[in-house]
């Protein structure tokens, strides 16, 4: 029997934006109105700077907009200046956690730290969004090995049930914030490759349950093509998620309505 296609997921990673809580609130109020049109056809997740989280979740009590955090530290409490834990994020209304974003990898986050973060989120009720992606595309296809290594190091040893709830975000680093995007054909090829890696690490049924997103300069112009021909379950959106009308158009592009 063919497995049911998961509900598409669009995640807005606000990174270190906007610059004030007042602006963040304005953006959520705009998105909340726009999201009414699309949910429950699409899951829409906003990932603001975590200092804004509690104020913003209060603005969307219906759960039409869900919220996430951009990073966590493994462990529940302790002497970790500047860090937040999974339970802290959860108690402030987060339901998703981005792990291993390339901007954090670039500032020194290691595969071991990413694996520990993945384990702590996967063991909680929050949904991990594990980011993978190559820095450059070489003609010999070495980028496949890069993605396989990132997946293997983060996920090896996880339980199948945890993996099934995991979201993988394929984000080629060269496409993030640059205006350059993967072609839909390249995205589809990578999606199939990720399925293959997960099947090797776990099994086919487990691999098929995992949602795979594409991220990297997704915008209102390229989203429909990338969704239809890229074979992904949605998007991780950076810059365009800060423009409510554009973000709503991206959400519309994965909606069946």
User: Is 101 among the catalytic positions?
Assistant: yes
Q: What is the dihedral of CA 39, 42, 45, 46, to 10 degrees?
A: -70
- For ligand PGA, which stretch binds (CB under 6 A), given 60-68, 69-77, 133-141, 230-238? 230-238
Residue 237 interacts with ligand PGA (CB under 6 A): yes or no: yes
The greatest distance separating any two alpha carbons of the chain, rounded to the nearest whole angstrom, comes to: 50
Residue 177 interacts with ligand PGA (CB under 6 A): yes or no: yes
User: Rounded to the nearest whole angstrom, what is the least distance from the CB of residue 105 to ligand PGA in the complex?
Assistant: 11
Q: How far apart are CA 11 and CA 243, in angstroms?
A: 13
Site string for ligand PGA, 206-225 (x = CB under 6 A): ---------xxxx-------
- For ligand PGA, which stretch binds (CB under 6 A), given 148-156, 169-177, 193-201, 247-255? 169-177
Report yes or no: 101 and 13 within 8 Å, Cβ to Cβ: yes
| Nearer of residues 89 and 226 to ligand PGA, judged by Cβ | 226
Residue 126 interacts with ligand PGA (CB under 6 A): yes or no: no
User: Rounded to the nearest whole angstrom, what is the least distance from the CB of residue 3 to ligand PGA in the complex?
Assistant: 27
The torsion angles phi and psi of 42, rounded to 5 degrees, stand at -135, 140
Q: Which two tokens stand for residue 32?
A: 């909340």
18 alpha carbon, distance to own chain's centre: 19
User: Is 171 among the catalytic positions?
Assistant: yes
Element (H, E) at 11: strand 9-13
Q: Give the CB-nearest residue to ligand PGA.
A: 238
Q: How far apart are CA 158 and CA 162, in angstroms?
A: 7
Query: Which positions from 134 through 163 interact with ligand PGA, judged by CB under 6 A?
Result: none
User: Rounded to the nearest whole angstrom, what is the least distance from the CB of residue 101 to ligand PGA in the complex?
Assistant: 6
Length of the chain: 257
Q: Which residues belong to the active site?
A: 101, 171
């Amino acid at each position: 029997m063919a497995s049911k296609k998961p509900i598409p997921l669009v995640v807005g990673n606000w990174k270190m934006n906007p610059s004030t809580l007042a602006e963040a609130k304005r953006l959520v109020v705009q998105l909340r109105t726009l999201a009414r049109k699309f949910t429950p056809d699409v899951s829409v997740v906003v990932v603001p700077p975590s200092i804004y989280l509690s104020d913003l979740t209060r603005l969307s009590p219906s759960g039409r907009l869900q919220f996430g955090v951009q990073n966590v530290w493994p462990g529940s409490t302790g002497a970790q200046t500047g860090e937040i834990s999974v339970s802290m994020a959860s108690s402030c209304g987060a339901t998703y956690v981005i792990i291993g974003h390339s901007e954090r990898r670039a500032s020194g986050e290691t595969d071991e730290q990413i694996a520990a973060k993945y384990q702590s989120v996967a063991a909680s009720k929050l949904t991990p969004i594990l980011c993978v992606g190559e820095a450059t595309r070489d003609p010999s296809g070495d980028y496949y090995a890069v993605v396989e290594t990132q997946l293997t190091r983060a996920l090896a040893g996880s339980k199948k049930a945890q993996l099934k709830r995991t979201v993988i975000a394929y984000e080629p680093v060269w496409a993030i914030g640059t205006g350059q995007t993967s072609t839909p054909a390249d995205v589809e090829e990578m999606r199939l490759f990720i399925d293959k890696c997960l099947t090797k690490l776990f099994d086919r049924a487990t691999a098929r349950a995992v949602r795979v997103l594409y991220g990297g300069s997704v915008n209102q112009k390229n989203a429909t093509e990338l969704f239809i021909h890229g074979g992904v379950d949605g998007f991780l959106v950076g810059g365009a998620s800060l423009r409510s009308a554009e973000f709503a158009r991206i959400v519309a592009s994965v909606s069946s309505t």
